[in-house]
Amino acid sequence: MKYNELNAEEERVIVQKGTEQPFTGKFYNYDESGTYLCKRCDTPLFRSDDKFDSNCGWPSFDDEIEGAVKRVPDADGIRTEITCANCGAHLGHIFLGENYTEKNIRHCVNSISLNFISEKSKSEKAIFAGGCFWGVEYQFQKVDGVTETSVGYIGGSKTKPSYKEVCTGTTGYAEAIQITFDPQQVTYEKLVKFFFEIHDFTQVNRQGPDIGEQYRSVIFYTNENQKETAKSVIKILIDKGYKVATTIEKADQFWDAEEYHQDYYNKTGGDPYCHIYKKIFDKKN
């Protein structure tokens, strides 16, 4: 079975059955509506409607998605561990009889063991810059769950920049792609990992033969969850020994590029010259 790549701290908790520090997890005081997934295999585990505040320092749920969570007697003979029924990832522990809710059950879960999919909308957006936007768009159009793509410019200050202006390398803009995706089909984390697998993220202000700040590698995040996810994936790459030149920046105005740039390779029938897919994150267990 193939699982998502984990950084060192995620490995310590999820595989080695550790515990994150209380009151530090990103989902402890988190009240957005949606579904919590296993960080290791993306299996849906808990619904936000079943989350409650127990003041214990970790996310608490009084119910689980049917069949998603397995109970295992702890080695200390006192507590009961809960794991992902699909991949065995350590989630935390379960406690009964505390009378926090009518169901009288508390799944005490490490935030680091979870991913989250929002129910605010049926689709979300992601923005990536990694060299010539023709090739980046070509690769992302192959990803299941990506419903729309648009190439354009982001990161500068001039209103409605043109391709000619951006090509001077003096506007602050980067050639980028804005993706609309269905989070029920593909997670943001998988999109970030795919981004790193289709360009050379070790190069500074260039991608292959294309040189200039407009070809720099950037993840433009649209919310804090995207920012933390991007940081987590970059940590995995650093742990692997890569020198990552990619920066993480808050997204501002995205300007669509001229029409002839949109869907370029499908229009012309060509192939990307410096965006070749190379698997990095595939891990067998």
Nearest to 138 by CA among 129, 127, 149, 122: 149
Q: Among residues 38, 84, 87, 108, which one is catalytic?
A: 108
Rounded to whole angstroms, the Cα distance separating 219 from 196 reads 10
Nearest to 174 by CA among 191, 157, 193: 157
Q: Among residues 38, 84, 87, 132, which one is catalytic?
A: 132
Q: Cβ atoms within 10 A of the Cβ of 164, count?
A: 8
Annotated catalytic residue 167: no
Rounded to whole angstroms, the Cα distance separating 108 from 93 reads 5
CA quadruple 92, 95, 99, 102: dihedral sign: positive
DSSP state at residue 259: G
152 is written with which tokens? 């354009």
Annotated catalytic residue 274: no
Active site residues: 108, 132
